[in-house]
Every structure is written in structure tokens, then in C-alpha cells.
Amino acid sequence: MALTGLDIFKLLPRKNCNECGVPTCLAFAMALASGKASLEACPYVSEEAKEALGSAAAPPIRLVKIGAPGVDHEVELGDENVLFRHDKTFYHPAGVAVEVGDDLDAGALAARLAKIAELVFERVGQRYTVDLVAVRNVTGDPAKFAAAAKAVAEKTKLALMLVAEKPEALKAALDVVADRKPILAWGTPATADAVVALAKEKGCAVVLRGAGLDETANLVERIAKTGFKDIILDSGARETGKVLADLTQVRRLAIKKKFRPFGFPIAAFCAEKDPLAEMTQASVYMAKYASLIVIKAVERPQVLTLLTWRQNIYTDPQKPIQVEAKLNRIGEAGPKSPLYVTTNFSLTYYTVEGEVAASKVPSYILAINTEGTSVLTSYAAGKFTADAIADALKKFEVEKLVPSKEIVIPGYVAVLSGKLADVSGWKVIVGPREAAGIPAFAKERYGRSS
């Protein structure tokens, strides 16, 4: 049973020294009980207390690492501490696995893997991809499964997952791709002992699947008692509403009650056949609270929506995504090119950059360090100021590249123009309020090559 804050408090040194970052041992105990602190933060905890605190000190959801070191793509699942990302943040984005059946002939398999390899996207300066290829034993034939696993392993550096009902099929495939340390799915109440034995031997994680949450909890508890901890849960549900309910219950019990059988990452297998419905289903699981999502879709527009959603959910709400504050050259910008200024908030910067590129007028963009806030927010917070822009102009010696000393500021902060002209000595042009207005503005004012 989970320890309460008071139980933990009794085991702490009670120095109230503040070295753990909170003012009192009681506050630290409460933070520990709710999974918002780590026992290591207190340097004075005795070994006996560490032992006694055992599970209270462990993260509410275990971190499970997938993939062999040296393989291009390693995946970390779980290790989350909160129910809602604005309580703190989510740390490990849900892994996305794309399914490949062992019933495909060599040509179809290669074509599908080629499509999976193309699922690489760049957005707001970040690169993201799917994480795993899940080879599924559709044929029921261990030899065909092993052959498909081998072919997949040879063609992808993504992490691997082997999905089969029969332990003998998992064994046959694992024998040929053991060096990749694939996830083994599934271990059921009937097969878990055999599958876990394989996983222990090769250092793999196992998806344990029960028929419903109760059976899954019993199965996990039994297996965890053997000392095997690289577990991923699967409640067995496949209907969206039921899966969502299970995912939510598992996360709540793991975080709020520290219910240890649910203190592991959880997988969700999409069952919808229509690609649009499948992405809707996967997006629901991404929002709450899958650690690993298995999909069949391989088309870029479908997968892009899911990965964009993931990027939004797993962005630290306390740390806006930022680009480096510097002078950026767009196209073959030269001495006659326009200079735009904006903030270093990624969404703002890349929106401006996209519109500047669309204008087809080679340009410079000066990104000001506003700690990742947008134009109006940073202006209101006193971070996007005439002085800050003037300092950046000097720091990056922009005058050497733009001898006209003409700078375009966002229309929303037209109010800065007078002071900026005074403190910088630059001619200030008020640009469009919205980035979308840049192409027309650039064409009208700078419609010439640099």
C-alpha cells in the first residue's frame, strides 16, 4: 500500500534545512508522496529510511527503455509524475509504432518500410518521426514471422516490436533480431511465463495483456514479483471509449494512489480500419494517457497530424519552444535585402520565416530573445522593447549586412517605432500586423532581388 505523506515524514531526518528545495521536511514528504519530488533531493536520508521508503521513493510510473544501445532510434516510455501536463510537465512522449504484417510479400514489405522511412517531419525547428516498427504475426506461422522480423530489422533503424499470440512465434523472431532488443507483445496469463523467460534472457520489455484491468493488474503483480520489471501494460480493450477509460484509470491509480501494478507504461493498439478514424482514435490515446501507440497508417498527412498533436502535448508548458536569438539569413539575402525583427518564440519565428520565404524576397530576420514568448506577450512583459532590439542590432553587427539601416517591425508593436529609431539610429518601418501580410508587403516595398 502507498505510504502517506505523514508516514514518509516520520522517516525523514526532520532537519528542516531546505536543502531539498522545499522549506520543511513535512513539505518534502508531501511532495514525495504525490510523486512531485525524488528522495535523492534530501542528502540526509539514512539507508534504513531509503529501504523503508522503497516504493514511495520510486517514480509512480516506471521508465522502460526500448532498443539496443547503438541502434539509431532508442525509445523511453513512462516515467510520468502528473495527470495533467500543466501540473508540471510530461517527460516522455508516447512512442508511435507502425505495424507491418508478416503476410506481406517481399515487395509489399519493402514498399511499406519505405513509406515508414519517409515519416520524418520538421516543425518549428524540431525533427520528429515515428519510433518503432511493430512486426505482427498475421500468418500464425513462426517461420514466416521470423523471416519478416529479419527483413524489417535489416531495413530500418527504428526500434522494433514483435507482436504475436504464440510464444513459439515470438521465440523464432526474437532469435533473429535479439540484438535489437525488441518489445515482445504479448504475454497473457497463459503465456506470460514463457514470454518473460525469453525477455529476461535477451534483455527485452514485454507487453502484458489481461482481459480487462483486474486481470492485467493480477498478471503484472505476479510477474513483477519474479523481479521482472520491464513491463508495458495492455488492458486488452480495443474499442476507443473502453481504451480511454482504461488508460485514464491506470494513470490515475498509478499517480494518485501509487498502485504499483499500474506503475508501468501502457500500450494502446488502434483497431479502426479507416485511416481517418484510426488517427482520431490514436489522437485520443495520445491525449490520455498511452505511453505507446500502435497504428497501421503510413501516409504522411495522417501521421503528421498525430505527431503534431504529440509535439503539442509533450511540450513543457513552463518552457516555450524557442529558437536561437540571432540574425537569420533567408535565401540569398544581400546588402539591399529587407530586415525583419520578431521574437524567438518558435511558433512566431517560423510563421514569420515561412511568410518571408513565401514572399520570394531574400531577407534577414532578427530574432530577439524574449524567452520564447510571442510579439504581444513579450511586448506586454517588457521583453520585446526598443532597447532590446537596438542591443541585438549592435550585438549581431547587423549594420554591416544591411547598410540601408532599415528595419521592419511587426505592426502590432508600431508603438515601438519612435523610441527604436531614437535609440538605434535605424529607420523603422512598421510592417503588417499578421505574418500573413508579409508577402504582399514585401512585394510592394521590396519587390526586387537583393
Q: Contact residues for ligand SF4 (CB under 6 A)?
A: 12-13, 15-20, 24-25, 28, 42, 44
Q: How far apart are CA 164 and CA 140, in angstroms?
A: 8
- The total of other beta-carbon atoms located within 10 Å of residue 346's CB is 19
Cell 506503475 sits at which residue? 263
Q: Give me 202's grid cell.
A: 535477451
Up-side HSE of residue 324: CA atoms within 13 Å toward CB? 4
CA distances (Å), origin 77, targets 42, 215, 233? 26, 22, 11
Between residues 15 and 300, which has the closer beta carbon with respect to ligand SF4? 15
Distance in Å, CB of 15 to ligand SF4, minimum: 4
Three-state secondary structure call for residue 251: helix
Between residues 11 and 149, which has the closer beta carbon with respect to ligand SF4? 11
Between residues 12 and 286, which has the closer beta carbon with respect to ligand SF4? 12
Distance in Å, CB of 239 to ligand SF4, minimum: 46
Distance in Å, CB of 54 to ligand SF4, minimum: 17
Residue-wise DSSP of 327-338: EEEESS--TTS-
Let me know if 344 is exposed, middle or buried by CB neighbors in 10 A (0-12, 13-18, 19+).
Answer: buried
Q: 97, 92, 33: which is closest to 264 by C-alpha?
A: 92
CA distances (Å), origin 347, targets 111, 319, 352? 34, 13, 9
Distance in Å, CB of 8 to ligand SF4, minimum: 10
CB 322 within 8 A of CB 370: no
Residue-wise DSSP of 265-310: -BEEE----SHHHHHHHHHHHHHTT-SEEEE----HHHHHHHHHHH
Distance in Å, CB of 21 to ligand SF4, minimum: 8
Between residues 24 and 139, which has the closer beta carbon with respect to ligand SF4? 24
Between residues 42 and 232, which has the closer beta carbon with respect to ligand SF4? 42
- φ/ψ bin of 16: left (φ > 0), alpha (ψ from -120 to 50), beta (otherwise): left
Between residues 32 and 61, which has the closer beta carbon with respect to ligand SF4? 32
Between residues 23 and 301, which has the closer beta carbon with respect to ligand SF4? 23
Distance in Å, CB of 19 to ligand SF4, minimum: 4
Distance in Å, CB of 6 to ligand SF4, minimum: 14
Between residues 22 and 339, which has the closer beta carbon with respect to ligand SF4? 22
Distance in Å, CB of 48 to ligand SF4, minimum: 15
